[in-house]
Amino acid sequence: MNQIRLSNSALAGLTIATLLAGCTSLPKTDLAAGNREKLHTIAILDVKEPRGESVVNFGGAAGAFGLIGGLVQAGVNSNHTSTYTQQVASQKIFFAPVVSDGLTTRLASNGYTIVALHDQHVKTSSDGKSDDFSDIKTDADAILSVWITSFGYASPPETSDFIPWVVVRARLLDSKSKADMYYKTFACGWDIKANSIHLQAEAKYHYGSFGTLIDHFDDSVSGLKDCEQAVVAAIGQDLTKQQ
């Protein structure tokens, strides 16, 4: 399990340009009034755990010393990511339930009937570039798929602090046609400046160094979960029955 999670820490060495390539074309679709009126039951797919908790400095040596510095910084980022991810694993901390349970509770309290699709999963399309929902079967009006694309702490070029870096996408599809009814990307903490909704993270979750971040590990975990809860609140607001 740990080997799978840690292998994905390779993303820690990516440059911003590589990381965000294509993000400006991310879909951004609000729930139309017509769809909102006919929406009564929502089937929710399981939210998967992050594949690792990244701790990445996007400035550091990379900004000061070019390619060589970038390679050095990539190694540092990978080490920091591994250290943080191992601590999360050793303490058996799970982040997906914050999103899945939060959405279930919020949407149910808003009057929706919620169906959990624990035994069904999205597959990758034949071109390998998108999700294929054709195998998802449900009597619900719509299918909600929510997944975490980036998770951890980042030190963006404009600051030396490590701040939360939580990026979550939410996609609501008509259960029969599989057409998109709602599709948004939320970024809490670091504003990735893509076609996304930015949510602020509290200043108390800003850490001046990796050492400080680790020294306040429990608080930093709370920072990540607070970001998840902010995303859940935003999705819930978008899908509320009355606007």
What tens digit of pLDDT does each residue of 162-201 get?
999 999 999 999 999 999 999 999 999 999 888 899 999 9
Element (H, E) at 56: strand 54-57
**CA-wise closest residue to 11 among 80, 91, 77:** 77
pLDDT digits (tens, 9 = 90+) for 2-36: 333 333 333 433 434 334 433 456 889 999 999 99
pLDDT, average across residues 32-59? 94
In angstroms, the CA 73 to CA 77 distance is 6
Contact indicator for 146, 183 with CB cutoff of 8 Å: no
CATH class of the domain at 33-239: alpha beta
pLDDT value at residue 209: 94
**CA-wise closest residue to 142 among 47, 45, 41:** 41
- For the chain, the structural domain boundaries read 33-239
The residue that leads in pLDDT, 125 or 23, is: 125
In angstroms, the CA 60 to CA 51 distance is 24
The confidence band for 241, taking pLDDT boundaries of 50, 70 and 90, is confident
pTM of the model: 0.86
Strands 131-132 and 180-189, sheet pairing: unpaired
